[in-house]
Amino acid sequence: MNPHRLLHRTVTVLALLAGLSTAAFASKDKPLIGLSLDTLKEERWQQDRDTFVAAAQKLGATVIVQAANSDDTRQVSDVESLISRGVDVLVIVPHNGDAMNRAVKSANEAKIPVIAYDRLILNADLTCYLTFDNVKVGEAQASYAVAHLPAGRKARIVRIYGAKTDHNALMFKQGQDNILLPLIKAGKIEVVHEDWATDWKPDEAKKIMDAAIARAGTNIDAVVVSNDGTAGGAIQALLEEHLDGKILVTGQDADLAACQRILRGTQAMTVYKPLKSLATLAAGVAVDVARGKPLAPSGTLDNGFKQVPSIFEKVIAVDKDNLMDTVVKDGFHTASELK
Ligand code: BGC
């Protein structure tokens, strides 16, 4: 047998014996990246994954993707399997920002750097965190609602937050609070119902909206909802009461269905986060980290363990007036898809 083939065969056999794939023989030239996602259910995460993988491949890397279906135990074992496959760097979107620090510890012990993507991992030794300005997302949602509330009387609003296990959900609420609390204190706004949607599920949001109507009646001016998936759930509840389009609803992500609802008038706004630029940036950072190149963070964020070098991207509030100039102009959705 030709000596090269023999060597390749020996390496493959050894790799299989060690429970590894040949891809585990990563090098700095061709880094192996492990991407562990909480979920792929929402449209945005599919876009994040596709952009990240394509950008990393362009830079010579290979990406192994795992998605945990909102299950902490599964996500920890996903990360452990990526570690055992010899990845050079891990990129994690945690389901639970607290629970994932165990997985980061295992990576740290294996000397594998960890990058948190979009969602922070708490009390963990992260190399970098890339995200959008999440407080600004919440501020944009609440400011939009406030600007469109009726004048001359106390406005009645419902607040639907995201998953309590997601640090971002707290940041969105914090941003909303920055705008709403002074007005609530001044007696200009009353929150007639509020709750957290477990795992960001649209069904949970529908239940919260049903409960709000049961408790406070249909005399509601706005529903400040933290993302488009849950906005869809809330709007379903409104539709059943023939109130869709009559009560302002906010969102986030510029999901296709949400953009269609904006054009139809059943959802007032969304917050567009240019995912392509964040995912492309993250792929570049992951490859640089694997190659030992220095980072260029735009700031830091305290995760309870350290000031994590962080990169924050800007967000854009979108309603029917600027949908074409933002989401469509960027190619995030095409005009024909929106019809
Ligand atoms: C993300 C949002 C997303 C939500 C649900 C958050 O952490 O920042 O864009 O809608 O999770 O997946």
CATH of the domain at 283: 3.40.50.2300
Q: Which residues pair with 301 in a beta bridge?
A: 308
Q: Is the CB of 144 under 6 A from ligand 1?
A: no
Do 122 and 207 reside in the same domain of the chain?
no
Show the domain range for 199: 134-273+318-338
**Average pLDDT of the segment spanning 319-327:** 98
Nearest ligand 1 atom to the CA of 93 is 7
Nearest ligand 1 atom to the CA of 200 is 5
Q: In angstroms, how far apart are the furthest CA atoms of the chain?
A: 88
Do 111 and 122 reside in the same domain of the chain?
yes
Please enumerate in sequence order all residues whose Cβ is within 8 A of that of 90, keeping only pairs 6 or more positions apart, or say none: 33, 34, 35, 36, 79, 82, 83, 107, 112, 113, 114, 115
Cα 122 to ligand 1 centre (Å): 17
Map residue 150 onto helix, strand or coil.
coil
Best residue among 95, 117, 118, 270 to mutate for probing ligand 1's pocket (most ligand atoms within 8 Å of CB) is: 118
Q: Which residues pair with 302 in a beta bridge?
A: 307
Map residue 282 onto helix, strand or coil.
helix
Best residue among 227, 228, 252 to mutate for probing ligand 1's pocket (most ligand atoms within 8 Å of CB) is: 227
For residues 93 and 38, is the Cβ–Cβ distance under 8 A? yes
Q: Is the pLDDT of residue 27 over 60?
A: no
Do 247 and 304 reside in the same domain of the chain?
no
Do 204 and 333 reside in the same domain of the chain?
yes
Do 214 and 235 reside in the same domain of the chain?
yes
Q: What is the pLDDT of residues 206-248, one digit of tens each?
A: 999 999 999 999 999 999 999 999 999 999 999 999 999 999 9
pLDDT of amino acid 22: 35
Q: How many CA atoms lie within 13 A of 35 on its CB side?
A: 25
Do 59 and 100 reside in the same domain of the chain?
yes
Do 114 and 23 reside in the same domain of the chain?
yes
Do 115 and 166 reside in the same domain of the chain?
no
pLDDT band of 339, cuts 50, 70, 90: confident
Do 29 and 152 reside in the same domain of the chain?
no
Do 295 and 244 reside in the same domain of the chain?
no
Do 93 and 187 reside in the same domain of the chain?
no
Q: What is the pLDDT of residues 155-192, one digit of tens each?
A: 999 999 999 999 999 999 999 999 999 999 999 999 99
Q: In terms of Cα–Cα distance, which of 176, 238, 228 is closest to 206?
A: 238
Q: Which residue is closest in CA terms to ligand 1's atom 3?
A: 227
Q: Is the CB of 227 under 6 A from ligand 1?
A: yes
Cα 93 to ligand 1 centre (Å): 10
Q: What is the pLDDT of residues 90-137, one digit of tens each?
A: 999 999 999 999 999 999 999 999 999 999 999 999 999 999 999 999
Do 153 and 267 reside in the same domain of the chain?
yes
Domains in the chain, number: 2
Give the predicted TM-score (pTM) of the model: 0.91
